[in-house]
Amino acid sequence: MADRNVSLLASDLFALGGSFVAQSSTKNDTAEYAAMLAANGDWIKWSELFNNLYSITTVYKWNAIVGLGAALPNVGDVKNGYLITELGIATNYKDWPTITVTGHQHFANTHVDPLPQYAVPADIIAVTTGQFGGYDFLSAIGTVTTAEDICVTDSTYTLGMNHIDAECSGGEHWVGTNVQGKETVNENFIGRITLPASLTVAWLGAAGWYATTATNDDSNTDFNKSNITAERIVARV
């Protein structure tokens, strides 16, 4: 018997193209229905399906050593018919960056441009080259003072927003918008940072970052390690 006709191919659902190479994608179709109970507690009837929604995620690699940051899409943009609701970049010392784009689209009253958008800021674009290795996304502000030499092992960057949808009438999507753009960075280092007496706005130095956690670890079996998580508000484009 011959092999079956089944595809092995990752789909670029957002049609980013260029040097973006899709690694995997997920498309999830959901809907709701209402049900009514009889007097005896059994089901008596149910509604037609409503509020159909496609939720999608595509994971990419970048097949170049420069230009990734400038090519990243805006969160809030509609690409290939899907609204981008979150952008994530994961890096580590033994791989190229992994880019994850998440979005959705409704069957009724679909999202179309223009909606409010949030772009990756210039200092993050400068760091995000597409080269191999772990990225210090906070390097543009000098990270923090350190008790010893430090080197980033892995990091994540997320640009997200609060997307608001509303349904009405027969239960279908009617309107949506985007608000409250925000970046989050998490970085792990070999070597210890100098922890402040308390986390303050000024501790990270500049550029609007607010540290939410800062951690040092040491042991007698491994090198010292540290971690920083920080957030920053992003203005609309």
pLDDT of residue 3: 86
Q: Which of 167, 163, 228, 171 is nearest to 195 (CA)?
A: 228
> Is 39 inside any structural domain?
no
For residue 134, is it within any domain?
A: yes
- Considering the domain boundaries, does residue 68 fall inside one? yes
d(CA 105, CA 163): 12
pLDDT tier for residue 39 given thresholds of 50, 70 and 90: very high
pLDDT of residue 143: 53
Is 7 within a domain?
A: no
Residue-by-residue DSSP string for 24-60 = EEEEEEEEE--EEE-TTSSEEEEPPPEEEEEEEEEEE
pTM: 0.93
Report yes or no on 13 lying in a domain: no
Instruction: Report how many domains make up the chain.
Output: 1
Residue 38 lies in a domain: no
Whether residue 73 is contained in a domain is answered as yes
**pLDDT above 80: residue 83:** yes
Decide if 5 is inside a domain. no
| Domain interval for residue 188 | 20-32+46-233
